[in-house]
């Protein structure tokens, strides 16, 4: 399984993904589920993958190859808007599905989905969620400013409690890490390392990227302070009288 989340805030965007991949319970591996396409000053595109690894890797390889190809065919680097980029990802997903879908029919078919976000010069920041069928939705800053994929429920309540459009990038990054901590405590199919990016609005470059490995000092401190703090709040809640 997987846990990925992307947030759209006034100050910028936050992206995070776990790294646990498994085909059955006895075949666990670590793969990065975060892919960045960046041309400083022009565009930052972050893609978070969930679903079957063969499918998500194939989609990303196709996107890379098409981006590297000579000529002016539409690709990630010449797309004018992030909407167009999202449609290119959907096209790649459907191409892979056409190639592999029939062979996967018995095991559930092509299943890959993405959170895609970032900014292209001349546009505001945008955040999309692409379903495995290739259709997609876009987040609204003042309606639902985040998307989650995978094991989303365990870590949803802290996001719902803390995040508003005016949350700072620093607080949002902490919130996302706490959300991962809660998820990993309750579900073994989500695991470290965690990849985290904070993107500052209009910077058109990735300036804050960090990987949190098992035992990371900051994450461990965050996790234990959070636990202690929560238990402390808990102990001060009013008593119930029967």
Rounded to a whole number of angstroms, the minimum distance from the CB of residue 228 to a copy of itself is 8
Q: For the chain, what's the residue count?
A: 242
Q: How far is the CB of 13 from a copy of itself (least distance, A)?
A: 15
Distance CA 220, CA 235 (A): 23
CA-based nearest residue to 1, from 186, 136, 158, 128: 186
**In the complex, what is the shortest distance from the CB of residue 236 to a copy of itself, in angstroms, rounded to a whole number?**
7
Closer residue to a copy of itself, CB minimum distance, 71 or 238: 238
The CA distance from 161 to 75, in Å, is 38
Minimal distance, residue 180 CB to a copy of itself, in Å: 11
Q: Which residue is associated with the tokens 């959300």?
A: 179
Which stretches of the chain bind a copy of itself, using CB under 8 A?
A: 151, 153-158, 160-162, 170-171, 173-175, 177-178, 182-183, 185-187, 198, 207-210, 218, 221-222, 225-227, 229-242
Contact predicate 194/17, CB 8 Å: yes
What is the smallest separation between the CB atom of 170 and a copy of itself, expressed in angstroms? Answer: 6
Of 72 and 237, nearer to a copy of itself (C-beta) is 237
151 vs 195 by CB, closer to a copy of itself? 151
Q: Which is nearer to a copy of itself, 61 or 224 (CB)?
A: 224
Cβ distance to a copy of itself smaller for residue 160 or 202: 160
* Cβ neighbours for 146, distance < 8 A, ≥ 6 positions apart: 5, 6, 7, 8, 127, 139, 159, 163
Residue 40: count of CB within 10 angstroms of its CB: 11
């Amino acid at each position: 399984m997987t846990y990925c989340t992307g947030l759209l805030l006034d100050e910028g965007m936050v992206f995070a993904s776990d790294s646990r991949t498994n085909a059955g319970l006895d075949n666990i591996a670590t793969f990065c589920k975060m892919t960045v396409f960046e041309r400083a000053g022009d565009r930052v595109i972050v893609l978070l993958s969930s679903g079957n690894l063969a499918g998500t890797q194939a989609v990303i390889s196709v996107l890379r190859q098409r981006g590297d190809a000579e000529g002016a065919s539409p690709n990630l680097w010449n797309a004018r808007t992030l909407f167009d980029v999202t449609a290119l990802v959907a096209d790649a997903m459907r191409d892979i599905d056409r190639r592999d879908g029939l062979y996967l029919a018995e095991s559930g078919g092509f299943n890959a989905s993405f959170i895609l976000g970032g900014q292209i010069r001349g546009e505001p920041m945008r955040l999309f969620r692409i379903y495995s069928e290739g259709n997609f939705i876009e987040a609204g800053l003042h309606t639902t400013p985040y998307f989650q994929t995978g094991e989303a429920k365990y870590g949803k309540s802290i996001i719902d409690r803390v995040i508003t459009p005016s949350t700072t990038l620093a607080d949002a990054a902490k919130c996302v890490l706490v959300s991962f901590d809660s998820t990993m405590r309750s579900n073994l199919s989500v695991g470290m390392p965690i990849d985290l990016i904070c993107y500052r609005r209009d910077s058109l470059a990735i300036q804050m990227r960090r990987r949190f490995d098992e035992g990371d000092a900051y994450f461990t401190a965050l996790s234990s302070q959070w636990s202690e703090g929560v238990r402390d709040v808990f102990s001060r809640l009013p008593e119930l009288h029967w």
